[in-house]
Amino acid sequence: MKKIVFINSSPYKDGNTERIGLELLKNIEHKTIQMSEYKISQ
């Protein structure tokens, strides 16, 4: 069984990238990761 992860790396949580990604995956089981929720330093 395949597992799908949608990684949204846009700084805008509710932006166009998320909207398009969720529309493409609307009938497919997946996990969403919002990179804007993580603080990543150099």
Segment holding 30, helix H or strand E? none
pLDDT given for residue 40 in this prediction:
86
CA distances from 11 to 4, 27, 34 (A): 21, 25, 9
pTM of the predicted protein model: 0.75
Domain spans of the chain, in order of start: 5-37
Tell me if 7 sits within 8 A of 33, measured CB to CB: yes
The angle formed by the CA atoms of residues 23, 32 and 18, to the nearest 5 degrees, is 40
Q: What is the pLDDT of residues 18-33, one digit of tens each?
A: 999 999 999 999 999 9
Beta strands in 1-42 (DSSP E): 5-8, 31-34
pLDDT value for 12:
87
